[in-house]
Structure 1
Amino acid sequence: MFVINRMTKNPMTVTADTKVDEVAHLMKKHNFRRLPVVDDGKLVGFLSDSDLMRVAPSPATTLSRYEINSLLAKICVRDIMKKDVVSVNVGATIEEAALIMYKNKIGGMPVVSNMGAVVGVITETDIFKTFVDVMGLADGKTRITLEVTDKIGVVKDIAEIFGQAGVSIDSLITCKKEDNKYEIVIRGDITNIDDIKAKLEAKGYKVIHTVKIG
């Protein structure tokens, strides 16, 4: 999975000189939460709905609607946008994008080409959807969780057990625990969960959870 396949392509952009009231109208009209700020083809900032909320008057204000609009019409995007923009290259993997967003505690970021042009925006929603698609959660798969000791050949052994049982593995992930242990999560179209569970445990693999999702 790559960012280019999951991002919103050719996003709407605004310039740093755009007035805040114009941007607020655009974001509301098109239901955008974030917009890249581009001047002369170069990414110079990133604007989010939280940035707009910071400068919007409180609901308890005594200002009239005209006064509020007049106030926002005097503020430019450059005055409220994030200037130290975190971005990701269009050729990056979805895992790299997720890690960048996790480390920087952000919900979205611009996607740039090798030349530095903005070609997309990727958000936490895109990451979540990718996770759902990769794990086949919407397809009604059965999920089996095993606890195993870290050793060479574990995945091969488990794959052989499923193969001999005539069960195809749709996805398999591992998660490291403490004490040299791993959780292995397997998803597939498993019609007889008790049979495959018995075969796994007969080979010494501890099944700690089973569930059908979707």
Structure 2
Amino acid sequence: MYVKNRMTVNPYTIAYDAPINDAVEIFRDNNLKRLPVTDNEKVIGILTQGDIQKVSPTKATSLSIFEINYLLSKVTVKDAMSKNPITISPDSLLEEAAVIMRKNRIGTLPVVENNKIIGIITESDIFDAFIDLLGFKENGSRITVESKDVPGALADMADIFKSFDANITHIVAYHGDNGKSDVVIRTNTLNTNEIEKRLLEHGYRIEHVLKNDKK
């Protein structure tokens, strides 16, 4: 899966020379946490709500609201933004975006193509993709099987499901350090008793079964 499959296209942005009050309004009206800062269409910074607080008078100030608004009107976005943000290409893998965010402890990446911002991807987008990849919201059964890390194990399990005409919709393997893996298999079949029995007969251990029937 690629960044372009999960990013928000045409995101809200703000010009570097815009008054900070404009950013406050965009944050408030659209329930945003971060804004890419642009010079024309080139990303040159990121502005967060925390950045705005740093350039705003504290709550202990003796200034009136009118004085505060006047001072803020003199502050521009470039005075508060974080410069030189990390960006990513729309053709990058979603895993690459996750690694970059994790490594740099950031929650947002502007998506740039030909030096122009075309989207934005956030940690929430990656969480949603993870949930979808596991099929957690779909009807059916989720069976976690412990298997040895040997060639053909996945094919053997797939044949078992096929023999019961059960379609495997999602599959994920978590490799351990003991020569075994936890294989999470999601199928659209709700009655998995016979499948579980056959898996046990083939030497697999059933660790967990979850049913999801929203009807």
TM-score with structure 1 setting the length: 0.92
SS of 1:88's partner is coil
Q: Does 1:26 align with 2:26?
A: yes
Please, which runs of 5 or more residues in structure 1 have no aligned partner?
Answer: none
The C-alpha deviation readout for 1:85-125, integer Å capped at 9, x for no partner, is 11110111222222221222211110001x12100011112
| Partner in structure 1 of residue 188 of structure 2 | 189
| Partner in structure 2 of residue 139 of structure 1 | 138
Does the 8 Å CA contact 2:3/2:97 hold for their aligned counterparts?
A: yes
SS of 2:82's partner is coil
Which letter does structure 1 place at the counterpart of 2:181? Answer: Y
Q: How much does 1:191 deviate?
A: 2.3
| Partner in structure 1 of residue 175 of structure 2 | 176
Does the 8 Å CA contact 2:190/2:211 hold for their aligned counterparts?
A: no
C-alpha separation in 2, matches of 1:102 and 1:170:
29
Q: Does 1:149 align with 2:165?
A: no
C-alpha separation in 1, matches of 2:27 and 2:76:
15
Does the 8 Å CA contact 2:134/2:172 hold for their aligned counterparts?
A: no
TM-score with structure 2 setting the length: 0.91
Counterpart mapping for 1:2-151 below 5 A: 2-113=2-113, 115-151=114-150
C-alpha separation in 2, matches of 1:145 and 1:37:
45
Which letter does structure 2 place at the counterpart of 1:197? Answer: E
Does the 8 Å CA contact 2:172/2:185 hold for their aligned counterparts?
A: yes
Does the 8 Å CA contact 2:169/2:186 hold for their aligned counterparts?
A: yes
C-alpha separation in 2, matches of 1:79 and 1:97:
28
Which letter does structure 2 place at the counterpart of 1:6? Answer: R
SS of 1:182's partner is strand
| Partner in structure 1 of residue 166 of structure 2 | 167
Which letter does structure 1 place at the counterpart of 2:32? Answer: F
Q: How much does 1:60 deviate?
A: 4.1
The C-alpha deviation readout for 1:59-101, integer Å capped at 9, x for no partner, is 4443322122122222221122111311110111222222221
Aligned identity (percent) is 38
CA, structure 1 residues 69+178, in 2 after alignment: closer, same or farther (shift >3 Å)? same
C-alpha separation in 2, matches of 1:54 and 1:48:
10
C-alpha separation in 2, matches of 1:56 and 1:194:
62
Please, which runs of 5 or more residues in structure 2 have no aligned partner?
Answer: none
SS of 1:159's partner is helix
Count residues with an aligned counterpart: 213
The C-alpha deviation readout for 1:6-59, integer Å capped at 9, x for no partner, is 111112221211121111112211222221111133211111222223333334
Which segment drifts farther, 168-177 or 12-21?
A: 12-21
